[in-house]
Structure 1
Amino acid sequence: MRMDVLGLQAFVSIAERGSFRAAASHLNLSQTALSHRIRKLEESLATPLLLRTTRQVSLTPAGLALLPRARKIFEELGSAIDEVRADAKDSGEQVVMGCLPTVAMHCMPGVIAEFEKRYDGFRVRVHDNSASEIASKVQSGEAEFGVTIVAANRWDLELKPVVKEPFLLVCHSSMPLAQSESLTWAQLQGLPLVRISAETGNRILIDDALGSRRETLTWRYEVQRVITAVSLVRSAIGYAIVPQLALDIVDAGELVAIPLRSPTVTRTLGIITRKNLPLKPPARYLLKLISEALKRSVSAR
């Protein structure tokens, strides 16, 4: 049975004020309209709730049983409305985005500083996750947009390429090949390489570009994140292949980055949003700043 919210509201108001006149005034209704609501509620319940006399209004046993429950319904409804309003206010004062960890580390400090000049007081929430996790967060609405690897797209997401970023070999300065200006993939044969999990999307790009040649390489270690791979290289136990923007976590005093060729492997970074759902002005501005920062960062190296 559908809940008669207006009837319950009228009933609670009369019970709390003791008269139809006071209740009608509180609800900004005529006494006729108020009486109609009560009559409709009582008919739906098949029992009277109020006893009316010329001097006062009192509650029937059914009315006495219903009143505390009806009050609880309106208390919970009021709390729910307050929570929705608070959430709406909070969501209107923040931008939530997804971003690859290497991009977040390289670009976001400067981007957020610039963003705050225009939107002082706005919060920026960054989900620094893998490419698949970013797509899921944008798809679900948890994030307004994502900065990620351009790959096979989901049907309800729109992807805009921004910049191509090359992969480089990172090694410790004390290791063989550290003085090389560039290297071919064939020259990496026999070296202990650190492989990054396929969940990041980087491994898939490298495997696809190398084809069967990837089987000639020695992938001795496997980690989940680029920063972990670099930490292993810093211990001089292996070499890692990382995106160019990851060089921010490379200590130039210990580690060196060497371009790779034959083939040159790149990843395309881009922006994903939900189709047919325009971004709010703060999110659009933040996205613009990130795109500009990505283009500057890759072209400057």
Structure 2
Amino acid sequence: MDISFRQLRAFTLVAQTLSFTRTSELLHLSPPALSYSIRRLEEALGLKLLARNTRSVELTPAGEHFLPQAQQLLRVMGDAVSDAQELLNLDSGTLRLAALPTAAASFLPGVIAAYSREHPGVQVSLLDGRAGEVRDWVLAGEVDVGITSLPQDMLGLEFKHLVNDNLVLLVRDEGGDLESWKTKPYIALAADTSIRPLADMTLLSLGVNAQPTWQVAHMSTAAAMVREGLGFTLLPASCSSFLQLGEALLVLPVAQLVQRSLGLLQRKPVRQTPALQIFMQYLDSRLSQAFA
């Protein structure tokens, strides 16, 4: 059934004015064009909607029955167009984010704050969790996009690289030989974190024993233990922006074989809403400053 907005609008106006001449003027259509539009609507419905002679126009019983339905269709279509335009202008809508703790506690709050100031009508939500959790949220459609490391299992997902957030060495500043950290106990993050495999691989490439003396779930715990001289740890460089490291800790670069890539994780087929497209502009700007 091929029914257009223009046909419905023409019919409801004729029903209101009971005049083809007046309706033609309101719609800026010629009388023949209006008549053609009504005829196409009647053909599509298989109904005679209007009874017309040289003097008057009136609704048929079928026309009287269809009129409220046509008016309802116009309202629904008008609301849909209005909602789409509002979303395009970012006057409304939602943006559901998920992120690793390193992103959620470092650069992401500033991006969300700047975005929300400019687009207060868009409701932004944030879930923070480990890489596996972020992947599951994205795959289940619970969030629109995840800011995370590259998952091993990419089935049904698409990953777009944003920036490398490589590991740095945290060790207590005790003076003397900087290489002495290699003989200290290893304070590792839990095995189910995305950082742990990369940290172990980096230590092995440097000829350092990767067997941990301590295993903790949170980066703040690892940093606190290093501060008290219990050993060393490897954490993402972005952690230095939100962990209270203090002067007692040294933050040193380390050579690593594999880069720690952070990026956008989305479920296929990828859908870039206007709200997400504008958010990405804010995110790219912030990352270019934070990782310059």
Report the TM-score when normalising by structure 1: 0.62
1:33 and 2:28 are equivalent in the alignment: no
Q: Which amino acid aligns with 1:294?
A: F
Q: Distance in 1 between matches of 2:221 and 2:80?
A: 44
TM-aligned CA distance change 1:42 to 1:112, over 3 Å? closer
Q: Distance in 2 between matches of 1:24 and 1:14?
A: 9
Deviation per CA, 1:133-160, whole angstroms, max 9, x where unpaired?
Answer: 49x97xx9956xx876578797965536
TM-aligned CA distance change 1:254 to 1:66, over 3 Å? same
DSSP-derived class of the 1:217 partner: coil
Aligned to 1:251: 244
Aligned to 1:195: 190
1:167 and 2:168 are equivalent in the alignment: yes
8 Å contact from structure 1 (residues 170, 256) kept in 2: yes
- Corresponding residue to 2:197 among 191, 197, 204: 204
Deviation per CA, 1:199-256, whole angstroms, max 9, x where unpaired?
Answer: xx212312433569877324544x3x53566578899999864223313444356974
Q: Distance in 2 between matches of 1:126 and 1:183?
A: 44
8 Å contact from structure 1 (residues 111, 286) kept in 2: yes
Q: Distance in 2 between matches of 1:282 and 1:181?
A: 42
Deviation per CA, 1:169-216, whole angstroms, max 9, x where unpaired?
Answer: 468x9xxx9999555455326x7x542643xx2123124335698773
DSSP-derived class of the 2:291 partner: helix
8 Å contact from structure 1 (residues 170, 240) kept in 2: yes
Q: Per residue, is there more strand in 1 or in 2?
A: 1
DSSP-derived class of the 1:25 partner: helix
Q: Distance in 1 between matches of 2:201 and 2:243?
A: 26
8 Å contact from structure 2 (residues 185, 232) kept in 1: no
1:293 and 2:290 are equivalent in the alignment: yes
Q: Distance in 1 between matches of 2:7 and 2:112?
A: 51
Q: Which amino acid aligns with 1:159?
A: H
Q: Which amino acid aligns with 2:184?
A: Q
DSSP-derived class of the 2:89 partner: helix
Q: Distance in 2 between matches of 1:260 and 1:232?
A: 19
Q: Distance in 2 between matches of 1:218 and 1:126?
A: 38
Q: Distance in 2 between matches of 1:284 and 1:77?
A: 31
Q: Distance in 2 between matches of 1:188 and 1:62?
A: 86
The number of aligned residues is 272
Q: Distance in 2 between matches of 1:286 and 1:161?
A: 11
8 Å contact from structure 1 (residues 150, 269) kept in 2: yes
Query: How far is 1:294 from its partner?
Result: 1.7
The Cα RMSD (Å) is 5.4
Query: How far is 1:21 from its partner?
Result: 0.8
Identity rate, percent: 26
Q: Distance in 1 between matches of 2:151 and 2:91?
A: 29
DSSP-derived class of the 1:188 partner: coil
8 Å contact from structure 1 (residues 169, 260) kept in 2: no
Q: Distance in 1 between matches of 2:61 and 2:279?
A: 57
8 Å contact from structure 1 (residues 181, 258) kept in 2: no
8 Å contact from structure 1 (residues 18, 57) kept in 2: yes
Aligned to 1:242: 235
Query: How far is 1:22 from its partner?
Result: 1.1
Query: How far is 1:3 from its partner?
Result: 2.8
Unmatched 5+ stretches in structure 2: none
Q: Which amino acid aligns with 1:204?
A: P
Taking the TM superposition and a 5 Å limit, the aligned residue runs for 1:1-301 are: 1-90=1-90, 100-103=100-103, 105-107=105-107, 121=118, 129=128, 133=134, 142=144, 149=149, 158-159=160-161, 165-169=166-170, 183-184=180-181, 187-188=184-185, 193-195=188-190, 197-198=192-193, 201-210=194-203, 216-218=211-213, 220-221=215-216, 223=217, 226-227=219-220, 241-252=234-245, 256=249, 267-269=259-261, 287-295=284-292
DSSP-derived class of the 1:90 partner: coil
